[in-house]
Amino acid sequence: MKKNLEIYVHIPFCARKCAYCDFLSFPGNQQAQREYTKKLIEEIKCQSAKVKEYQVISVFIGGGTPSILGIDDMAAVLHSLREEFEILPEAEITMEVNPGTVTAEALSCYREAGVNRISIGLQSADDKELRYLGRIHTYDEFLKSYQRVRMAGFDNVNVDLISAIPGQTLESWKNTLKKVTMLKPEHLSAYSLIVERGTPYFDRYGEQVNMENRSLTLEERNSLMSLPELPDEDTEREMYYLTQEFLNEQGYERYEISNYSKNGYECRHNIGYWTGVEYLGLGLGAASYINGCRFHNTPVFDEYCSAHLDQEEAFQRVLRQEFEQLTIEDKMEEYMFLGLRLMKGVSAHGFAGSFGHNIRSVYGMVLDAMEEEGLMEFIDGNYRLTSRGIDISNYVMSRFLT
């Protein structure tokens, strides 16, 4: 029996980097995209030879903005994946797209190549809020892209949303939820904005405003300083509760802290991450977890594109960076930390099957303490967060880390 594997493919290019984004992404011209595509296909061939004992149950093509890649280039990548890996017929294959970057022709190409799930990055239905985020599209452009996706025949669609963004009110967030749910996507990812270090947003909203950042032009500094303040903590908390209540009323089940779906449309790829399925990352900076080892590809574009990956020394140097063999303690901690993101929680039976230890023999004291504090409960063989536990999930999860 072959082991299950998930594949993540990173396309780092975007039309313009958003001010809040800390992902490995940047604008790239056609020549850079062609060069990258050629190297990515080379990597696919080299990496596939290392995982012949695996069958692929899901593929996620993310970025950046994958839909910015030329149709021929993306078709070549998708074809190479099919040729080199054993992808199961029922595998979930997701493509991220952004409004304004995806055409009917491209969507037809994706579908013919086996893509069966589309994830659209909307973030907000308010054009003013989209400008504050630095998005290149309007809500109307999103609607046109969404219509193209449906007309291309995709019946499994996710829409990404962000709450607690500059200038957002409880009413405008509710309006975004209303507009999007009227379209009836099968899945919604609703995240609260996190101001990440190293982004222009951190210079504007971090613990210490830093408008002297040398990487910013004068125009960018003035633009950031003109942004309204972030919603206060109480408003952000109200948005959080509104999201749960409103989406539940619209028939979306919350199956993970930030993810909601219609029945049967949970994102199988992400559930794999949260339940310990092994994964292989392809492309610039992509991370992997194979045979109990964690590693990642180089994040340096020139190093990646110039490497001779068919040579073992270059393969190891470029595609096996920060190689780490996890101990059983590491694996158990991660199993708990990630599994508790799911509403159903962590299976005691699954834990024993994975590690050969009773979950209480390892974490009994922590589990008892969390139950006594009303932060966790044991239901139908699963340890899961209570509503109060979800509110302070980072604290609860940290209790399982040594």
Q: CA–CA separation, 7 vs 114, rounded Å?
A: 14
In a domain, 297, yes or no: no
pLDDT of 112 strictly over 70: yes
Task: Tell me, yes or no, whether 134 and 267 share the same domain.
Answer: yes
Task: Tell me, yes or no, whether 170 and 57 share the same domain.
Answer: yes
Task: Tell me, yes or no, whether 141 and 231 share the same domain.
Answer: yes
pLDDT of 362 strictly over 60: yes
Check residue 222 and give its pLDDT.
80
In a domain, 289, yes or no: no
Q: CA–CA separation, 66 vs 283, rounded Å?
A: 12
- Say if residues 324 and 293 touch (Cβ distance below 8 Å): yes
Helix ranges (H only) for 260-347 are 268-274, 301-306, 312-319, 328-339
Q: What is the CATH number of the domain that holds 33?
A: 3.30.750.200
In a domain, 32, yes or no: yes
Q: Which amino acid does the sequence have at 336?
A: M
Residue 223: C-alpha distances to residues 79, 137, 188, 198, 218 (Å) = 42, 18, 30, 17, 9
Domain of 393, in residue numbers: 329-398
Residue showing tokens 């062609």: 34
Task: Tell me the mean pLDDT in the region 384-390.
Answer: 96
Task: Tell me, yes or no, whether 220 and 348 share the same domain.
Answer: no
Q: Which of 138, 260, 271 is nearest to 190 (CA)?
A: 260
Task: Tell me, yes or no, whether 81 and 201 share the same domain.
Answer: yes
Task: Tell me, yes or no, whether 152 and 72 share the same domain.
Answer: yes
Contacts for 237 with CB less than 8 Å, ≥ 6 apart: none
Domain boundary residue among 235, 256, 274? 274
In a domain, 316, yes or no: no
In a domain, 89, yes or no: yes
Task: Tell me, yes or no, whether 261 and 338 share the same domain.
Answer: no
Contacts for 322 with CB less than 8 Å, ≥ 6 apart: 294, 295, 296
- Say if residues 322 and 47 touch (Cβ distance below 8 Å): no
In a domain, 380, yes or no: yes
Instruction: Encode pLDDT of 212-240 as tens digits.
Output: 555 667 777 788 888 999 999 999 999 99
Instruction: Encode pLDDT of 48-78 as tens digits.
Output: 999 999 999 999 999 999 999 999 999 999 9
Predicted confidence band at 46 (pLDDT cuts at 50, 70, 90)? Answer: very high
Check residue 402 and give its pLDDT.
79
In a domain, 334, yes or no: yes
DSSP 380: T
Check residue 212 and give its pLDDT.
57
CA 173 to chain centroid, in Å, comes to 21
Task: Tell me, yes or no, whether 268 and 333 share the same domain.
Answer: no
Task: Tell me, yes or no, whether 266 and 334 share the same domain.
Answer: no
Q: CA–CA separation, 325 vs 332, rounded Å?
A: 14
Check residue 144 and give its pLDDT.
97
Q: Which of 51, 130, 33, 22 is nearest to 288 (CA)?
A: 51
Contacts for 134 with CB less than 8 Å, ≥ 6 apart: 16, 17, 18, 19, 20
DSSP H or E run through 133: helix 127-133
- Say if residues 37 and 64 touch (Cβ distance below 8 Å): no
User: What SS3 state is found at 27?
Assistant: coil
Task: Tell me the mean pLDDT in the region 157-170.
Answer: 97
More confident position, 200 or 119: 119
In a domain, 300, yes or no: no
Q: Which of 55-59, 98-102, 323-327, 380-384 shows the lowest per-residue confidence on average (mean pLDDT)?
A: 98-102
Task: Tell me, yes or no, whether 265 and 356 share the same domain.
Answer: no
Q: What is the CATH number of the domain that holds 392?
A: 1.10.10.10
Number of domains the chain is built from: 2
Tell me the DSSP string of 66-117: GGGS-HHHHHHHHHHHHHHS-EEEEEEEEEEE-TTS--HHHHHHHHHTT--E
Domain boundary residue among 247, 274, 301? 274
Task: Tell me, yes or no, whether 125 and 50 share the same domain.
Answer: yes
Check residue 303 and give its pLDDT.
98
pLDDT of 326 strictly over 90: yes
Task: Tell me, yes or no, whether 111 and 222 share the same domain.
Answer: yes
Mean pLDDT of the chain: 95
Domain boundary residue among 232, 253, 274? 274
Q: CA–CA separation, 18 vs 14, rounded Å?
A: 9
